Amino acid sequence: MNISLPQPTITPITQPFWDYIQKKQFYLQYCLDCGQAVFYPRAHCPHCFGSRLEWRPASGNGKLTTWSVVYRAGHPAWQERTPYVVGIVELEEGPSLLAHLIIDEVELRYQMPVEINYQEVDAFVLPFFRKKGAHV
Ligand SMILES: [Zn+2]
């Protein structure tokens, strides 16, 4: 049985983020009132509640703060890809995000430098992270 992988739920607010990701570009919202980077995408800045947010290119670099090896997937389509690793990446720009990691389990370290790596999953590009400088 071939079950398709679930795609992210895209809303008008998150649409630009996913459009950039499909072009293998990583953009974050920035608040024009307080200057801070914002993730996940929102209508208002979580730091100052300003509503003047604009999309700017981001580095795609960060540090790994925690992770989990998944053996039992939350969706049947991901089950055949287990075990896989997901983790929280603290981006250079400040915000953190949850993402799949393409890092061998034995290499995982707290605060290890990581970088974005775009993976096509069922013809939809998703932002994964790998060890900084790795060629996978
Ligand atoms: Zn703000």
DSSP sequence for 76-111: HHHHTT-SEEEEEEEETTS-EEEEEEES-GGG--TT
The model's confidence at residue 6, banded by pLDDT at 50, 70 and 90, is confident
Residue carrying the six token digits 């096509």: 120
Distance 21 CA to ligand 1 centre (A): 24
Distance 120 CA to ligand 1 centre (A): 33
Selected residue with higher pLDDT from 81 and 87: 87
Contact yes or no for 100/128 (Cβ under 8 A): yes
Distance 72 CA to ligand 1 centre (A): 38
- Is pLDDT above 60 for 1? no
Distance 47 CA to ligand 1 centre (A): 5
Distance 34 CA to ligand 1 centre (A): 4
pLDDT tens profile 84-131: 999 999 999 999 999 999 999 999 999 999 999 999 988 899 999 999
Contact yes or no for 86/71 (Cβ under 8 A): no
The model's confidence at residue 2, banded by pLDDT at 50, 70 and 90, is low
The predicted pLDDT at position 126 comes to 95
Distance 28 CA to ligand 1 centre (A): 13
Q: 48: phi > 0 → left, psi -120 to 50 → alpha, else beta; which?
A: alpha
Find, among 59, 34, 61, 56, the residue nearest to 45 by Cα: 34
The predicted pLDDT at position 4 comes to 78
Dihedral through CA 42, CA 47, CA 51, CA 52, nearest 10? -100
Q: CB neighbours (10 Å) of residue 1?
A: 5
What predicted TM-score, i.e. pTM, was given to this entire model?
0.91
Cα separation, 126 vs 81, whole angstroms: 15
Distance 56 CA to ligand 1 centre (A): 15
Contact yes or no for 28/91 (Cβ under 8 A): yes
pLDDT tens profile 14-70: 999 999 999 999 999 999 999 999 999 999 999 999 999 999 999 999 999 999 999
